[in-house]
Structure 1
């Protein structure tokens, strides 16, 4: 005696089984076919939140480094600035980024 599955396979081919099962059943149908869950696709939206992050800049450490009356040696930075808010005096040099630095040993004056 043949069992049920071998009898079913002999009567129907695989092609007939696949073509007769609805892939997208209608909403009012209510029944789901055997292969409908395998091929169903859902609406998705790509997330794009990470592109707006990560633009924090590092600190520039501007300002006065040596105040009036402090002792300086050649090469000491006196002021780090943007633009020429402070101008170099005697024995003070200015870098390309407007940094003022000591050229000779001495004391800072205001």
Structure 2
């Protein structure tokens, strides 16, 4: 066989074996590499919880800025010296003692509960208050005699 014939036979053989554009043999079959369900659940499997709930109970001493309740929506309401942030957490505004009371709700006119209250419905909710520590006297009165 001459060199030109060998070249021609090898070209025909390569054309028949590698007919696809990716260079795979024409007789090969590609199988799925994964079976069943997907393992990527969008980060829902090992996520950390939000830690909602009451953080400071009735009678606890708190400092200014401490979180009293971490909640979803307004389950507990702010009272004296307590404020809410944009995620409805209750935060102490002063140092003092926490007091939890159950009070009749008196909503603002733009509240969705205002109409129900005007129709005679009584709604009671838990309120968190912070009673500040009393200030100690720093001076004495001296009589002028």
TM over 0.5: yes
Q: CA separation in 2, counterparts of 1:109 and 1:87?
A: 12
CA separation of 1:9 and 1:69: change in aligned 2, threshold 3 A: same
Show the counterpart of 1:15: 8
Structure 2 residues not aligned, in runs of 5+ = 18-23, 101-145
TM-score (norm. length: structure 1): 0.62
Give runs of aligned pairs for residues 32-71 of structure 1, distance below 5 A.
Answer: 39=25, 40-45=27-32, 47=34, 49-52=38-41, 54-56=43-45, 57-71=47-61
Q: Which structure's residues are more often strand, by fraction?
A: 2
Q: How many residue pairs were aligned?
A: 90
Q: CA separation in 2, counterparts of 1:88 and 1:94?
A: 7
Secondary structure at the counterpart of residue 77 of structure 2: coil
Deviation, 1:108, is 0.8
Max radius of gyration: which structure? 1
Structure 1 residues not aligned, in runs of 5+ = 1-7, 25-37
CA separation of 1:54 and 1:102: change in aligned 2, threshold 3 A: closer
Q: CA separation in 2, counterparts of 1:97 and 1:53?
A: 24
TM-score (norm. length: structure 2): 0.49
Secondary structure at the counterpart of residue 8 of structure 2: helix
Deviation, 1:102, is 1.0
Deviation, 1:16, is 3.2
Secondary structure at the counterpart of residue 87 of structure 1: strand
CA separation of 1:98 and 1:54: change in aligned 2, threshold 3 A: closer
User: What is the Cα-based RMSD across aligned positions, in Å?
Assistant: 3.0
Q: CA separation in 2, counterparts of 1:55 and 1:86?
A: 29
